[in-house]
Structure 1
Amino acid sequence: MATSSSDATHCNKTVTGYPAPINQVVSGYPAAAAAAAPTHYYAFRPLPPSSVYRPLGSNPYNYSVRPTLFYRMIIFCVAVLSIMTVLALIAYLVLKPHLPEFRVESAAVSQLNATRSELTARWIFTLVVNNPNKKLGIGYDRLEASVFYGGELGLAASQLAPFSQDKKNQSTIEFQLGAINEYVGENVVDRILRSRDRGSVDFGIRVLGWIRFRCGSLRTREHMIRVSCDPIRIAYSLHNGTGTLTGQPEKCEVY
């Protein structure tokens, strides 16, 4: 009995040294904690499962894919635009396109009659169109010619047929414009009749249209042109009442 009591006392004795025997408790640690201590150890702490596992096909860097693609598209568009601008500038410097030249070759006015505020007349014009370009042809489309008086007042208008010119080429356009009982106001009628009685009346021509330069199979985009021929002095004969262009052919402004 004495031996058993001595053995129990020896087993429950707290050890203060190191290392401790297996059947003894280290000072400061309960026996239960020592019994629950893990029997295996890791070389490093495992990462949480959420930081290791990702669904199949997911991109951990997805936040940077869209901005990068957007920036690349912008750079590509800027590069293409820059190349096209440089090519257009080179073509312009090499070809040097010039606007066509217009001049009034002949003009005549017949059947000029006026009431108190209305005008009746028929105008016949011949325009010479010159293409000064050495390397470019010109195509003309959607042309409209009008005759006016006093700088602004339109008297008659008509569409002109489209045509085209080769380089260093000249074309002639003849057209007629008519007004029948066109209301222009008493003041305008009075001014026209007074000028006719003095021997001449100044009219003007405007031509609006679209042109396109071409070089072989290449075509430029359309450009609007405005042609202004003003004044055109028409001299009247007292015998037949018909007026014709007086002086030299008038060169027109083209812009």
Structure 2
Amino acid sequence: MSIPMANHQRIHPAVGVEAPPTTPLVSRGSSLSEKGTPARPHAPIQMRTVPIPVSHANPPKNGTGCCKCICWTISLLVLLLVIVGATAVILYFVFQPKLPTYSIDNLNISRLGLNIDMSLYAEFDVKITSYNPNKKIGIYYERGSQLSVWYTNTKLCDGSLPKFYQGHQNKTVLHVPLTGQTQYGSTLMTALQQQQQTGQIPLDLKVDAPVSIKLGKLKLKKVRVLADCLLVVDSLSANNAVSIKASNCRYRMKL
């Protein structure tokens, strides 16, 4: 059953009033074209960071300069060694250096016995010939030389060579007095007496001589000439003639 509505309650359509145009919703990322149709969405733009070069007024230091310095130093050292080596080779072939030699001509025993404190006292006199075999080299014997006599690694006595100059191919005869005192002499004296019964007593005569070499008019740096002479004598009795049965010497130079 319908309820009649009054005329003033009826709804009439408005005349002359137009509804606003409906605008289609455009999603984000899209736009309208000139005709009103939505355009295709554009791809997202990727941003790239471009490094900006920075110029330094003073560039940072690196190890290049240090490496160059080390290389130059090594090169100079190598060059110096080459020059020294070449000079040494030239001098060797020009002067042909040889070590001096020594021979033990005579050995006299002035005293060999025990003291009150049971130490062994020895007094020797050695006649030694020094020979310079070089034709162009002179030898200066400097102070501080030593000549010593040993028995089984025990030094019996020692002395020093005189200071002198030895010319080319010169032989010089030296008389060197040797004296010494050794503790525990009773044990050493007993061993010497037992060895003397065999008629062969081994002795070791050592020479340590600081010398300067003269090349022409040039005097070089001091070096040391070392000699080690192994002797065999028949007796060590005081005031008796001592016979040297064997002698073997070795030589070397120490800078």
TM-score, normalized by length of structure 1? 0.64
- Answering whether residue 165 of structure 2 is matched by residue 164 of structure 1, we say yes
Q: Deviations over 1:23-57 (max 9, x none)?
A: xxxxxxxxxxxxxxxxxxxxxxxxx9963x84xxx
Give the share of equivalent positions with the same residue, in percent. Answer: 22
Q: Shift in Å at residue 183 of structure 1?
A: 2.4
Q: Deviations over 1:101-143 (max 9, x none)?
A: 0001111002333369532332111110000111111222321
Q: Shift in Å at residue 200 of structure 1?
A: 6.9
The 5-angstrom pairing of residues 125-204 of structure 1 reads: 125-141=126-142, 142-150=144-152, 152-179=153-180, 182-196=182-196, 201-204=201-204
**Structure having the higher Rg:** 2
- Are the equivalent residues in 1 in contact too, given 2:124–2:157 (CA < 8 A)? no
Q: 1:50 to 1:149 in 2, by over 3 A?
A: closer
Q: 1:234 to 1:114 in 2, by over 3 A?
A: farther
Task: Give the number of the structure whose residues are more often helix, by fraction.
Answer: 1
Match of 1:242 among 225, 239, 244: 239
Partner of 2:147, secondary structure, is strand
Q: Shift in Å at residue 100 of structure 1?
A: 0.6
The 5-angstrom pairing of residues 31-110 of structure 1 reads: 51=55, 54=57, 63=62, 64-110=64-110
Q: Separation in 1 of the partners of 2:132 and 2:108?
A: 25
Q: CA RMSD in A?
A: 3.3
- Are the equivalent residues in 1 in contact too, given 2:101–2:251 (CA < 8 A)? yes
What is the identity, as a one-letter code, of the residue corresponding to 2:208?
A: L
Partner of 1:98, secondary structure, is coil
Gaps of 5+ in 2: 1-51
What is the identity, as a one-letter code, of the residue corresponding to 1:80?
A: L
Q: 1:122 to 1:69 in 2, by over 3 A?
A: closer
Q: Shift in Å at residue 247 of structure 1?
A: 5.0
Q: Separation in 1 of the partners of 2:122 and 2:67?
A: 70
Q: For CA contacts below 8 A with separation 6 or more, give which structure has more relative contact order.
A: 1
Q: 1:101 to 1:143 in 2, by over 3 A?
A: same
Gaps of 5+ in 1: 1-47
Q: Separation in 2 of the partners of 1:49 and 1:204?
A: 83
Q: Separation in 2 of the partners of 1:61 and 1:90?
A: 49
- Are the equivalent residues in 1 in contact too, given 2:232–2:246 (CA < 8 A)? no
Q: Deviations over 1:171-219 (max 9, x none)?
A: 1221111245x42443321132345567675543211122332202334
What is the identity, as a one-letter code, of the residue corresponding to 2:239?
A: T
Match in the other structure for 1:111: 111
Match in the other structure for 2:233: 233
The 5-angstrom pairing of residues 22-37 of structure 1 reads: none
Task: Give the number of aligned pairs.
Answer: 198
Q: 1:202 to 1:114 in 2, by over 3 A?
A: farther
Match in the other structure for 2:6: none
Q: 1:70 to 1:61 in 2, by over 3 A?
A: farther
- Are the equivalent residues in 1 in contact too, given 2:122–2:157 (CA < 8 A)? no
Q: 1:103 to 1:95 in 2, by over 3 A?
A: same
